[in-house]
């Protein structure tokens, strides 16, 4: 049953690899060499695509007899986990074939890409990765940001109720309700919005690289376009892979930092709110001039955001964290409040959205600043966004549930109703959120102990590495002077890869496979 959708996804991956090879070869023929081996890299990417395509066609042939048979919930769970595991295994091929990377390292890099974690084992990005591999690295994050399974459902609409089950196993957050009656329409809406925001960011970055960023103004427009596309892919997916060793810090541009901060924060918002704002129907009389109609439509569209409790808390969280972090790091920037605000806003945006870009040395922050960053790593962005972490909605529900329990301890006869805005939250939902938090902390603690045992690192380092993997955050705490994961053992890298998939699919989809009943039926 899982072979058919997996086959389509794998064939799609092969097509994407071919596209990366074509782009790399085109740049090489035009004289824009990156590593000196771009021609060979394009051929090696074609080889990776060929292997992937053969496996994809084999899966399609294997799964053809099950075509048209609806999936049950358990089968959808198995299929989603199988697809994500397969993308990590096959997505690693370009790194193995092109860069001669050990397979555990390549799996780590591929899983980090598809889960939009952004952690890397590549020490020298600028000289070690060819243009085809670099584009593949960014494209993995863009595909994984909105969800590979969600894209599959959008492209193949005739899978019926199976799509609904698969959609719910992949879309992040405590609720995976559709934006439209049909789940395939929901998938298309999400991907269209995602592609639209990506195109807007590419245009914005091209303007900045061409006229406003000193280090890129003298470069050819084709080179700037490549970097703009790669960074747009990894910003809207909140992935954080960059084309530079120093990440966004290489550009040293305040305007670029602020622009990327805004796009990261947009990516951390529930995409359903954007769709709701677009279709909101006003009851006001919209007769009159263009300016009057546009003004009222904008006001009514913003009403959708204003009514969302999770969005309001998200905005307050970002503002408060930016102010507090900016105050904390003022001494790190020679007393300059403007510099502190610039780096503080970027750090809050890249952390709360789990993007993982870097412009500042966060390990040099005072304890208060590090505490703020650590708290944001736990919380993450909104449900229905591309961000990682626990999600703002779950944090709200945990706080509301705790407050209600405090009231019950004093006045047990009073019935306490937990609400998220106007919506009354059921006990089943509260129980699911509490269970999620317990599983999250249990996996964090157990994984940290295993890393301490396998690699002999300090508890703080192991805890930070597991936290960044489970929350799909990106760079971990410094290990032997670097926030790169290259120095960890192969065993630890496989564990981190598993943790990244756990966090991306929010635990239950993967852990449910441990139940005997899933396989018995």
Alpha-helical regions (H) of 30-130: 38-63, 73-91, 93-99, 103-114, 125-128
Yes or no: say if 34 and 130 are a contact pair by the CB < 8 Å rule: yes
For residue 10, which of 89, 69, 70, 76 has the smallest C-alpha distance? Answer: 89
Within a 13 Å sphere around the CA of 246, how many CA atoms are in the beta-carbon half?
8
| Average pLDDT along the chain | 84
Examine the pLDDT at 142 and tell me if it is beyond 60: yes
> What 3-state DSSP class applies to 178?
coil
- Specify the 3-state DSSP secondary structure of 337: helix
Mean pLDDT, to the nearest integer, of 26-50?
84
pLDDT of residue 242: 94
pLDDT band, very low/low/confident/very high, at 184 (cuts 50, 70, 90)? low
Please give the pLDDT value at position 160: 44
- Of the candidates 337, 440, 430, 335, which has an alpha carbon nearest to the alpha carbon of residue 380? 440
Can you tell me the mean pLDDT for 12-30?
Answer: 93
- Greater confidence (42 vs 40) lies with 42
pLDDT of residue 161: 41
Please choose, from the candidates 245, 248, 258, the residue with its C-alpha nearest in 3D space to the C-alpha of residue 228.
248
User: Between residues 222 and 284, which one has the greater pLDDT?
Assistant: 222
User: Which tokens is 92 given?
Assistant: 């690693």
Beta-carbon count within 10 A of 15 CB? 12
Q: Which residue has the tokens 């509490």?
A: 434
For 426, other C-beta atoms within 10 Å of its C-beta total 10
Average the pLDDT over 120-132 and give the result: 91
Q: How far apart are CA 425 and CA 277, in angstroms?
A: 24
**Interval 4-28 mean pLDDT:** 91
User: Minimum mean pLDDT among 161-165, 183-187, 225-229, 265-269: which range?
Assistant: 161-165
Cβ atoms within 10 Å, residue 409: 8
What is the mean predicted confidence (pLDDT) over 92-104? 94
Q: Which has the higher per-residue pLDDT, 360 or 261?
A: 261
pLDDT at 34 over 80: no
Which SS3 state, helix, strand or coil, does residue 307 take?
Answer: coil
* Mean pLDDT within 147-159: 54
3-state secondary structure of 419: strand
Count other Cβ atoms within 10 Å, centred on residue 279. 11
Q: Could you tell me where the beta strands, DSSP code E, fall in 250-386?
A: none
pLDDT-based confidence at residue 361 (cuts at 50, 70, 90): confident
- Does the pLDDT of residue 131 top 70, yes or no? yes
Q: What is the pTM of this model?
A: 0.91
């Amino acid at each position: 049953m899982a072979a058919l959708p997996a086959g389509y996804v794998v064939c799609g991956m092969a097509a994407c690899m071919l596209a990366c090879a074509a782009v790399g070869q085109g740049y090489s023929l035009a004289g824009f060499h990156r590593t000196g081996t771009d021609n060979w890299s394009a051929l090696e990417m074609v080889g990776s695509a060929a292997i992937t395509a053969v496996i994809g066609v084999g899966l399609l042939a294997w799964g053809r007899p099950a075509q048209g048979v609806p999936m049950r919930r358990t089968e959808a769970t198995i299929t989603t986990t199988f697809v994500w595991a397969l993308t990590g295994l096959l997505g690693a091929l370009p790194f193995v074939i092109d860069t001669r990377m050990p397979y555990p390292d390549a799996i780590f890099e591929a899983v980090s890409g598809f889960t939009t974690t952004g952690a890397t084992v590549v020490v020298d990005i600028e000289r070690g990765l060819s243009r085809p591999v670099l584009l593949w690295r960014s494209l993995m994050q863009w595909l994984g940001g909105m969800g590979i399974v969600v894209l599959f459902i959008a492209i193949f609409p005739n899978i019926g109720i199976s799509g609904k089950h698969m959609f719910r196993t992949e879309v992040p957050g405590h609720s995976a309700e559709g934006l439209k009656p049909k789940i395939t329409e929901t998938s298309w809406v999400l991907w269209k919005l995602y592609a639209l925001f990506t195109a807007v960011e590419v245009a914005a970055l091209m303007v900045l690289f061409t006229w406003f960023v000193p280090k890129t103004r003298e470069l050819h427009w084709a080179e700037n376009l490549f970097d703009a596309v790669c960074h747009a892919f990894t910003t809207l997916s909140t992935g954080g892979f960059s084309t530079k060793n120093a990440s966004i810090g290489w550009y040293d541009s305040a305007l670029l930092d602020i622009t990327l901060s805004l796009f990261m924060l947009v990516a951390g918002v529930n995409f359903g709110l954007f769709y709701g704002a677009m279709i909101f129907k006003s009851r006001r009389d919209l007769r009159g001039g263009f300016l009057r109609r546009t003004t009222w439509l904008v006001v009514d569209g913003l009403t959708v955001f204003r009514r969302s409790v999770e969005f309001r808390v998200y905005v307050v969280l970002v503002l408060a964290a930016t102010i507090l972090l900016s105050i904390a790091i003022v001494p790190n920037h020679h007393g300059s409040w403007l510099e502190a605000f610039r780096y503080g806003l970027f750090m809050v945006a890249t952390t709360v959205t789990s993007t993982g870009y870097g412009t500042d040395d966060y390990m040099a922050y005072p304890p208060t600043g590090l505490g703020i960053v650590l708290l944001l790593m736990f919380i993450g962005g909104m449900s229905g966004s591309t961000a990682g972490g626990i999600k703002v909605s779950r944090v709200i529900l945990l706080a509301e549930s705790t407050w209600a329990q405090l009231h019950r301890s004093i006045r047990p006869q009073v019935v306490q109703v937990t609400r998220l805005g106007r919506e009354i939250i059921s006990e089943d939902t509260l129980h699911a959120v509490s269970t999620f938090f317990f599983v999250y902390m249990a996996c964090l603690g157990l994984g940290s102990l295993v890393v301490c045992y396998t690699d002999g690192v300090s508890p703080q380092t192991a805890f930070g590495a597991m936290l960044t993997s489970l929350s799909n955050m990106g760079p971990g705490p410094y290990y032997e002077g670097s926030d790169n994961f290259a120095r960890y053992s192969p065993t630890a890298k496989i564990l981190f890869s598993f943790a990244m998939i756990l966090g991306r699919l929010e635990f239950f989809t993967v852990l449910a496979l441990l139940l005997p009943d899933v396989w018995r039926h």
